[in-house]
Amino acid sequence: MDISSILTPSGVIPALRSGAKKAVLEELAEKAAEVTGRDASEIFSVLLDREKLGSTGVGGGVAIPHGKLNDLDRLYMVFARAQNPIEFDAVDEHPVDLFCMLIAPEEAGADHLKALARISRLLRNQGMCDKLRGAGSADAIYALLTQDEAEQAA
């Protein structure tokens, strides 16, 4: 699962405006609506329902909010960075500043799991997280997230 197949440069938010968990999910849903063509409130509802099952804050300052929508044509990813870490009920009880949201078609069982695993592996790498936190622009963040793919293709 290549990140570049689910994330576009326009799907990167280099500086979230929001400072609270629910507002972050709303902002992610708005960006996801732009890239998917779906309604932001529908995406927000899916994300909020998933959070009610348990926080997607996986620790180390990272959260991976995700959900599934009917009639979606493919998997989509939105990546966002907060300038100031946000309380997100993460498993390690630390605030979160890196958010990687994934929206999948309802029928995308294995692909959804592969994407979550790929994202999780990438963001467990402390060096990668440090680089993402220090990146100066959306384009720089996108390049970092997709750099392994470019190196493999070369």
- Catalytic positions: 66
CB-based contact 119:142 (threshold 8 Å): no
Single-letter amino acid code for the residue at 76: Y
Query: Which residue do the tokens 């529908």 mark?
Result: 42
CB-based contact 116:103 (threshold 8 Å): no
Distance (Å, whole) CA 4 – CA 119 = 12
β partners of residue 102: 66, 77
- Those residues whose C-beta lies under 8 Å from the C-beta of residue 14, and which sit 6 or more positions away, are 80, 81, 135, 137, 138, 141
